């Protein structure tokens, strides 16, 4: 994984770019939640679930199908005031799906660990993209506070935070120009 905080940075930048101005506050916390939730699968290690297992790290919980389930759950339970199947409802549904699914996609750009089961549950194959510029983040705080951790932070600053920052700044500029017209 890129570290959780980098997934969250991308989620917030995407929200700044695409979310309507009047979204409720919990939209932002749920955006961060959806972007980091797949990594909750590391808990499996504690219970002896091996990395390559269906429910192992980067398994089913990193697949777009799981993202779809998350987005259905979040939209139905946390946006009950929004009319079902209205334009706003579809925005939330698609947005939370994209955020949850983007987690596995971002992970597929990392250079270590096992690949991502992007087609789970239909295939057990683990995938990486042919180009993997992001230094894989170690699992656990202890390993993170190390030289490896610094390499991860450096590569995430370049490959995740910089694009996220540019997305946020450019989209804010475009939206404020559009709002004036
Ligand atoms: Zn991950």
The pTM score is 0.86
Task: Determine contact, residues 109/159, Cβ cutoff 8 Å.
Answer: yes
Alpha carbon of 119 to ligand 1 centroid (Å): 15
pLDDT tens for 67-80 read: 999 999 999 999 99
Q: What percent of the chain has pLDDT over 90?
A: 72
Backbone angles phi, psi at 50, to 5 degrees: -65, 155
Alpha carbon of 62 to ligand 1 centroid (Å): 7
Stretches in the chain below the pLDDT threshold 50: 1
Residue 57 carries which DSSP code?
T
Alpha carbon of 135 to ligand 1 centroid (Å): 13
Rg (CA), the chain: 17
Task: Determine contact, residues 112/87, Cβ cutoff 8 Å.
Answer: no
Angle at 93 between CA 91 and CA 96, to 5 degrees: 100
pLDDT tens for 18-35 read: 999 899 999 999 999 999
Cα distance between residue 16 and residue 22, in whole Å: 12
Question: Sign of torsion, CA 54 59 61 64?
Answer: negative
Alpha carbon of 91 to ligand 1 centroid (Å): 24
In 10 A of CB 66, how many CB atoms? 22
Cα distance between residue 90 and residue 156, in whole Å: 31
The residue whose two tokens read 């450019």 is: 170
């Amino acid at each position: 994984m890129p570290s959780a905080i980098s997934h969250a940075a991308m989620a917030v930048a995407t929200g700044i770019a695409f979310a309507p101005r009047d979204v409720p506050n919990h939209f932002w916390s749920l955006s961060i939640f959806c972007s980091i939730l797949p990594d909750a699968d590391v808990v499996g290690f504690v219970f002896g679930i091996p990395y390559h297992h269906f429910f192992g790290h980067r398994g089913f919980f990193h697949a777009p199908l799981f993202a779809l389930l998350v987005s259905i759950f979040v939209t139905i339970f946390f946006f009950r005031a929004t009319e079902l199947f209205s334009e706003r409802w579809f925005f939330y549904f698609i947005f939370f799906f994209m955020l949850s699914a983007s987690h596995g996609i971002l992970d597929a750009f990392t250079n270590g660990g096992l690949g991502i089961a992007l087609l789970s549950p239909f295939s057990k194959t683990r995938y990486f993209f042919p180009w993997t510029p992001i230094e894989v983040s170690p699992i656990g705080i202890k390993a993170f506070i190390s030289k490896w951790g610094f390499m991860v932070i450096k590569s995430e600053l370049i490959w995740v935070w910089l694009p996220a920052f540019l997305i946020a700044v450019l989209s804010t500029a475009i939206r404020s120009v559009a709002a004036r017209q």
